[in-house]
Amino acid sequence: MEQPLPRPIAEGFPGKVAMVTGGATGLGRAICLEFARLGCDVAFCYVNLPGRDVSEQALLTETTISSFGVRVHAARCDVRDPVAVDRFVIDTRTRLGGLHFLVNNAGIAHDGALWRMSDESWREVMETNVTGAFNCIRAVAPHLRHQHYGKIVSVSAHQASRPGFGVANYAASKAALEGLTRAAAMELGSANINVNAVAPGFIRTERMAMLPQEVAERAQRHSVLGRLAEPKEVAQVISFLCSDAARHVTGQTLVVDGGLSLE
């Protein structure tokens, strides 16, 4: 007996569900708000970080998303834990009624010269930035394949191809993430699932504010546009890759670095 074909997914964003990892703060928060602005219900996860009570910021993000008149599901979830990821995906589908977009935004950095880098610093960055994205893609793939529709976007970084000093673990993780993006696009394309990545340069977020002032000034000088990116500008590129306008784009990494990579 032939399996019935899945119901066609309507065009546009309203009524669809976006899942964003690391969505409480910074770029992740901007991505959540962009999807909410477009009419999507939004699920986002977060973890508390050393010295930061992210749960308070998560509540503010949740409240802001709700103000757009869409539904929201927020939960703590460590993307390194496949069991927690599976639970977050199940809860998202149960609470919001489906899942259409996944944005792998969760990521960390532990910078330092590679000859002084600890095993823990290497392992934590790789497990969060690469294995975490893999866990999420693997968890959503069966559902997206079943409905024959889905968009996955992972947040890479310009350091994947232009690493500076002291970012061996971070650069390696983002290069691996871009390889994962291409592989997933190959495997999921026949199910009408687009898989892409964005590679931002420096973004004006809380993390950027914690870096030395000379780092921001140098990044601004080397940008062809002469400025840093605002989180919203990167979020809008991500929403484009999830839009019907980008339905023929897959397996690509879209650089959003203000021309930093042109030098």
Which residues are designated catalytic? 170
**CA pair distance 47, 50, nearest whole angstrom:** 10
Neighbours of 148 (CB within 10 A): 15
Neighbours of 207 (CB within 10 A): 15
- Residue 143 phi/psi, 5-degree rounding, is -70, -45
Residues 6+ apart with CB under 8 A from 207: 26, 109
Q: Which two tokens stand for residue 124?
A: 């934590």
The CA-to-CA distance between both ends of the chain, in Å, stands at 59
Alpha carbons within 13 angstroms on the beta-carbon side of residue 211 total 16
To which residue do tokens 């996955």 refer? Answer: 152
**CA pair distance 205, 208, nearest whole angstrom:** 5
Going from the C-alpha of 146 to that of each of 75, 80, 117, 143, 174, the distances in angstroms are 25, 25, 43, 5, 29
Determine which helix (DSSP H) or strand (DSSP E) holds 1, and give its type and residue range: none
Neighbours of 69 (CB within 10 A): 8
Residues 6+ apart with CB under 8 A from 191: 144, 145, 148, 150
Residue 188, amino acid: L
Q: What is the DSSP letter of 203?
A: B
